[in-house]
Structure 1
Amino acid sequence: MTAPTGRRFPARLFRRGDEPDPRFTLANERTFLAWIRTSLALVAAGVALEALGLDLHAGLRLAASLVLIGAGLLTPVQAWAGWYVTERSLRAGRPLPPPLLALPTAVAVVVAGGLVALAVLLR
């Protein structure tokens, strides 16, 4: 049974497949919003690291800040893509796709943490 699209966005997604159990769609939305909060935290951490002017090696501190801010700016794009492919899978009755954000976010945090650790050691 295909649900009417009405004004739902993105319409091309909602034109296909069957309406899934609302619990799954709402869980997918909560996951998207959690990634948005993560994005805000990454940007805030990057800004704070640089704005606080900690007594750390300036170049490494700036590099760590830029890694965190860059990850924070890319996370919403990946969160949207993850929401979309998950919703598409739910509507088609297919297995859920693997997480898109876990590895890139983990790598960014490890790189930023490594840069901060190195900056602490070199001060």
Structure 2
Amino acid sequence: MSTRQGRGDRRFPRAVYGRGNEPDARFTLANERTFLAWLSTGLALLSVGVGLDSLAVNVQQHFRLAASVVLILAGAACPVQAWFGWVGAEVALREERSLPFPPMVALLPVLVAVSAVLVLLGLLFR
């Protein structure tokens, strides 16, 4: 739909829904699914980070702790990406602009690789 909705200024957040035109519902729902995927990813990373440090994993303690911290921080960053990514994409859809690049897309693989290297080193130096 390409017309402004009359109820747009009553929805939260007003800074998003009060802008531009109402996009096609399929795009809004896809943006919502991406938001939920970031939350799921964050929860998974947090769980692995906590589990790695809590369980009796035979990995050298300092490397295990470092890998856990990296994973927990990555997990904590995902909901931030979810929110700001959702807002940025929704505003871009409403203003008919290109979708913004989510910074965590570049950072997340690096953080997972760093934690994998730390666990590998922890296994080698136990």
**Which TM-score band (shorter chain)?**
over 0.9
**2:112: which partner in 1?**
109
User: Residue 76 of structure 1 is aligned with which of 79, 83, 89?
Assistant: 79
For the Cα contact (< 8 Å) 2:31–2:89, is it kept in 1? yes
Instruction: Give secondary structure in 2 for the equivalent of 1:16.
Output: coil
Instruction: Decide whether the 8 Å contact of 1:40 with 1:72 is kept in 2.
Output: yes
Give the unaligned 5+ runs of structure 2: none
User: Take 2:98 and 2:9, find their aligned partners in 1: how far apart are those partners?
Assistant: 27
Among 58, 63, 66, the residue aligned to 1:60: 63
The one-character-per-residue Cα deviations of 1:22-72 (angstroms, maximum 9, x if unpaired) are 000000000010010000000000011011121111000000001101111
Counterpart among 1, 13, 25 of residue 22 in structure 1:
25
Task: Structure 1: give runs of 5+ residues left out of the alignment.
Answer: none
Q: Percentage identity across aligned positions?
A: 50
Distance 1:6 1:17, change over 3 A: closer
The one-letter code matched in structure 2 to 1:2 is R
Measured in 1, the distance between the counterparts of 2:67 and 2:40 equals 20
Report the RMSD for the aligned CA atoms in angstroms: 1.0
Q: Tell me the equivalent position of 1:2.
A: 4
State the alpha-carbon separation in 1 of the partners of residues 74 and 99 from structure 2.
Answer: 24
Distance 1:7 1:121 in 2: 57
Structure 1 runs, 4 residues or longer, greater than 3 Å off:
none
Return 100-109 or 88-97, whichever deviates more.
100-109
Q: Which residue of 2 aligns with 1:37?
A: 40
Partner of 1:46: 49
Deviates more, 1:18-27 or 1:7-16: 7-16
